[in-house]
Amino acid sequence: MRQFFTIASRKIGWKEFFLSRTVAWLLVGAVVLTALFKIALPLFVSTASVKTNMENVLSSWTGARANIGGAPQISFWPHPVLTLRNVTFEGGDAAAPELLAKADAISAGFDILAALRGTPIFYDFHLVNPVFKVERRMDGTFNWRRAGWMADAIADASGKTPSPARNTPIGDIEIINGTLELTDRVTASAHRVTAITGAVQWRTPTARLNASLSAVMNGQPVQWSITCDEPLMLLSGQNGTLQTAFSSAPLTFSFDGTGNISNHPFAIGQLQLKARSASALEAWFNGAPLPLASAGAIAINTSMTMSAQAWKMDNLSLSLDDSNATGVLGIAWNRTRGPRIDGTLAFDQLDLVPIVSSVQTAQSGSAIPLDRTLLKQFSLDLRLSAQEVSYGAAALTDVAAGVIVENGRASIDIGDGTFAGGTISGRIALASGDTDGGQMQFALKNADLAPVAASLGLTGPLPLGRGVLSVDLSADSPLQTLTKDGISGEIRYSANNGTVVNFDLPEFERLAAQGRAFSISHATNGSFAFTTADIVATLRKGVAELTTADITGEGRTLSLAGTIPVSGGTLALAGAVRAVDNPTPSTRFFVDGSWPNPLISPLPAMATQP
């Protein structure tokens, strides 16, 4: 064409060229073609026929009955486009139709030659303000049935001879401001996803599928993308590659691997998941605002294998806030007994504060970090190890523990660990019955008891040395109704070669000899070195009773007996100081008031011990 203009202009000149018959015919042809597209073609393409064909196509595509309420609009420039308004999709019987979806407008491109033959082929769909309703019924079936063309394409997915269904043109499906309403009758739950905007690129059933969508779920903006090289292989129950990613403020995850969605679904590949916290997930799931600040962030990176019966995570990297672990986890599903979790996790450092805080917040601020009704819903056998486990000021090292939940009962066993320079072992057992309680037992041996007291927040005159602390407690009511009054048991404390800090025994005896009441704080400018300290307390109905409390050193023995309210309140203790070789007390006194500054009331000397 360019050579034509160049040669023509050289031979006849520009003025003569534009006045020539050749250019005149070109201009006339352009006008005729424009007229054909603008005027003539609409006369040959029947809008009624196109509407009927479009309804048939949409019905075949979706498996629902499509009805077009508005008059079709056809545009032929720059390419043929059909626009339909007030489109609805119905299921169920014609006598009792069920609304499955609706859209303000649906536009699609179509083949002009096929349209002239009366059998238009549509592609590249645009949906404006669509609303989709998906419901799972009590019998497990869905309100949408599989479309005929898809059933044919899936049935022929692995066939050697291609069927026409394989080449059905689809094109791009663009969604503008869509809504998805999900109803699950089985779980009695409902969810609504709004502001769905994006596109699904799927040229034909056998071509690669790419989808990229944004939406709002329970008030949070989300992004979701999926890529599948062989979508029909997946839909037909065979293995196919799959890459998907989901992003939101409370949860993000991605998967890259192989899977299928048959009656026995299966997936294998690499999974990455991050959750802001358990409390944030619960708030999001319930449609509540996300907590402004929440501890307990979770991150998972693992090679996973998932089926309808089990989910196994190998080469697992797990992060709980700043606590990192490696190991393996397996989850098996059982319809009658619920899921069972087995695995091994090795932590470098495990901080329990954000984990407990997250679980407490997730359970509406409950002071008890475990609702025992959960114990009936799953089974667990988890082996844990950690170089360090901390909870506030307390820190254990070289810990090996196990957690078992079975038949509504749970136990946490610490087989080995180091705390305050000594060894620790113990067990916590819980049951899920309405009247069942629980037990807590642990023993700390050959430990420096000063950091133990500090970790418990204990102050005042205390016998601190190296020794043994053992606890054996039980609860007589479920944890969700448990109070301090419902705990009973025994606490034993034995230390050697230590010191009662903040306690000046000679000054204490001098003040007591005056016969006037005084505060213990008047005798704290010193310490009392002891060789042995033996304390036994029984706990019942919120009160600890000292059955034995003997501290011996420097030729003196300090003895105490009485009650100490666990929840605070006034002490009620009788005490005495006597020489080691003389059973008769030289000083007797009564202790009342609150710790660590109780009031000491001297008593007359008697020949009996307190």
Would you place residue 373 in the very low, low, confident or very high pLDDT band (cuts 50, 70, 90)?
A: low
Contact 311, 331 (CB under 8 A): yes
Give the distance between the most distant pair of CA atoms in the chain: 144
Mean pLDDT of the chain: 80
- Mean pLDDT over 439-454 rounds to 87
Spell out where 72-208 has E strands: 73-75, 81-91, 98-110, 122-128, 131-136, 171-184, 189-202
pLDDT over threshold 50, residue 367:
no
Higher per-residue confidence, 63 vs 31: 63
As a whole number, mean pLDDT of residues 87-115 equals 81
HSE of 469, CA atoms in CB hemisphere, 13 A: 19
Percentage of the chain modeled with pLDDT above 90: 33
Per-domain residue ranges of the chain: 2-43, 129-235, 496-603
Q: Tell me the pLDDT tens digit for each residue of 514-535.
A: 999 999 999 999 999 999 999 9
The values of phi and psi at residue 334, to 5°, are: -135, 125
DSSP assignment of 509-520 equals: HHHHHTTS-EEG
Confidence of residue 164 (pLDDT cuts 50, 70, 90): low
CA–CA gap between residue 292 and residue 521 (Å, rounded): 44
Cα 90 to the chain's mean position, in Å?
A: 37
Predicted pLDDT at 36: 47
pLDDT of 398 reads 92
Selection from 283, 347, 303 nearest residue 321 by Cα: 347
Q: Please give the full DSSP string across 336-350, using - where no structure is assigned.
A: TT--EEEEEEEEEEE
Q: What is the pLDDT at residue 391?
A: 76
The pLDDT of residue 243 is 94
Instruction: Name the least confident of 39-53, 75-89, 571-585.
Output: 39-53
Evaluate if residue 115 carries a pLDDT over 70.
no
pLDDT(38) > 60: no
- Phi and psi (nearest 5°) for 374? -65, -25
Name the residue among 338, 217, 320, 215 with its Cα closest to residue 273: 320
Could you please report the per-residue DSSP string of 490-531? EEEEEEEEEEEET--HHHHHHHHHTTS-EEGGGG-SS-EEEE
At 39 the pLDDT is 44
> How do 81-91 and 73-75 pair as beta strands?
antiparallel
| pLDDT tens figures, 122-153 | 778 899 999 999 888 888 778 877 666 666 66
φ and ψ at 285, to 5 degrees? Answer: -60, -35
Which pLDDT tens digit goes with each residue over 273-321?
999 887 788 888 878 888 876 677 889 999 999 987 889 999 999 998 8
pTM for the predicted model, two decimal places: 0.71
Residues with Cβ within 8 Å of 188's Cβ and at least 6 positions away in sequence, in order, are none
Q: Looking up tokens 């026409």, which residue turns up?
A: 164
Q: What are phi and psi of 412, to 5 degrees?
A: -120, 115
Tell me what the mean pLDDT of segment 467-492 comes to: 79
Q: How many CB atoms lie within 10 A of CB 434?
A: 9
Give 41's pLDDT tier (boundaries 50, 70, 90).
Answer: very low
DSSP 126-150: EEES-EEEEEE-TTS-BSS---HHH
Secondary structure (DSSP) of 390-436: EETTEEEEEEEEEEEEETTEEEEEEEEEEETTEEEEEEEEEE-SSS-
Task: Give the pLDDT band of residue 368 (cuts 50, 70, 90).
Answer: very low
